[in-house]
Structure 1
Amino acid sequence: MSLIKLTIKGISYSQTQSGAYALVLSEVEGTRTLPIIIGAFEAQSIAIALEKEIKPPRPLTHDLFKTFADRFFINVKQVIIHKLVDGVFFSSLLCERDGVEEVIDTRTSDAIALAVRFQAPIFTYENILDKAGIYLKIEEELSDDEDEDDEDEFELTFDDEDDDVFTQMSLSELQEQLNEAVANEDYELAARIRDEISKRS
């Protein structure tokens, strides 16, 4: 079976499971998306790794794994989502050290969090996309001037009515709130503040 390359489309609150998030992966060369329900910690870890502006004051668990792997010259070459059983996705990390490759079983959410940190490609099989993939409607509103760098962008959405408070703040106040949120390791709040700052740029 041939492998199909995926990219991270976005992360949002799960509409079906309270306290969970939906990680949405999409085909690099196609219109199908693969939604995967993940926990809040893993969603936060993936979002932090994708962010360019938010740096945690202390390493998260996946950051620690990356540092450990780098120290001992272990590289994660790719992630493969290889099985789907009763709605649960199973994944593997293909790792390499001194020219020797090893396959390690992992939860899909952890695999994606590590893939982002190692800049490793994410793959799945056609039969998994056939079973769990959703066709994405191509929207005409997508700007024509998007360049290749845009594939690294993602969307992290929250259903929080308190965001109106941020619209009343100045840029300097928002930056102060952002720094405080990061210091407190409240990355969900930091992401919302970041989005408000980005709107004004």
Structure 2
Amino acid sequence: MRELVIDSIRMSQMNYQRVVVLKELETDLFLLIWIGPTEAEAIAVKMQGMTVPRPLTHDLLVDLVKSVGGSFDHILVNDLQNETFYAKVVIRVGEQTHEIDSRPSDAMAVAVRAEVPIYVADEVMEKAAISMDQETGAPVTQPAPGGEAAETNVTEEELQKLSAFTDLINELDMEDFERK
């Protein structure tokens, strides 16, 4: 299991869909998860420190768990099947730990409110994580034991599996990924 942080929320200029860009803390690997506009707004509102006059659904959920003596431990993006990501919200109540099935977008909206880590299963990272060359924006493999990253030779079949991400990756401005 690897820890990632929300790097940004982007909108595709081609179809106006939103995508959460997660970045692994220890590497330059990224995980892109398509989400709905409501969930994107719920995440962005909290990340930008905005206040709303009434609690949003995710605020209500966090307040409810805390009011009954529970606490949030972390969220986990635990599976990827047929281009659909799955997640769990992990809460503790007393000595018991509960894993609650969730859409990743809702789990991330809870995570930013509860200020808990976002983890991704190793298998999910192996299937869907991408790394991009800072200069060219081209996909690259993870560094070899010798240290240098090599360009990926991607087959046509692999490109088809990643088709949902192709337009977004082509639109990304890599300068936006640099931390200021």
When the two structures are superposed, what TM-score results if normalisation uses the length of structure 1?
A: 0.64
Structure 1 unaligned residues grouped into runs of 5+: 140-201
Residue 11 of structure 1 is matched in structure 2 by 9
Contact 1:14/1:37, CA 8 A, preserved across alignment = no
- Separation in structure 2 between the aligned mates of residue 34 and residue 108 of structure 1, nearest angstrom: 12
1:13 corresponds to which letter in structure 2? M
Moved over 4 A (4+): none
Residue 26 of structure 1 is matched in structure 2 by 23
Q: Which has the higher contact order (CA 8 A, sep 6+)?
A: 1
Identity %: 32
Query: Shift of residue 137 of structure 1?
Result: 3.3
Task: Spell out, residue by residue over 1:77-130, the C-alpha distance to the aligned partner (whole angstroms, 9 max, x if none).
Answer: 011111001111000111101121111110000000001111111111222112
- Separation in structure 2 between the aligned mates of residue 89 and residue 62 of structure 1, nearest angstrom: 19
Task: Spell out, residue by residue over 1:47-86, the C-alpha distance to the aligned partner (whole angstroms, 9 max, x if none).
Answer: 011122x211111110111111121111110111110011
Residue 124 of structure 1 is matched in structure 2 by 120
- Separation in structure 2 between the aligned mates of residue 94 and residue 15 of structure 1, nearest angstrom: 34
- Counterpart of 1:37 (choices 28, 34, 37) is 34
Contact 1:19/1:39, CA 8 A, preserved across alignment = no
When the two structures are superposed, what TM-score results if normalisation uses the length of structure 2?
A: 0.71
Match of 1:95, SS state, is strand
Residue 48 of structure 2 is matched in structure 1 by 51
Query: Shift of residue 8 of structure 1?
Result: 0.5
RMSD between aligned residues: 1.4
Residue 115 of structure 1 is matched in structure 2 by 111
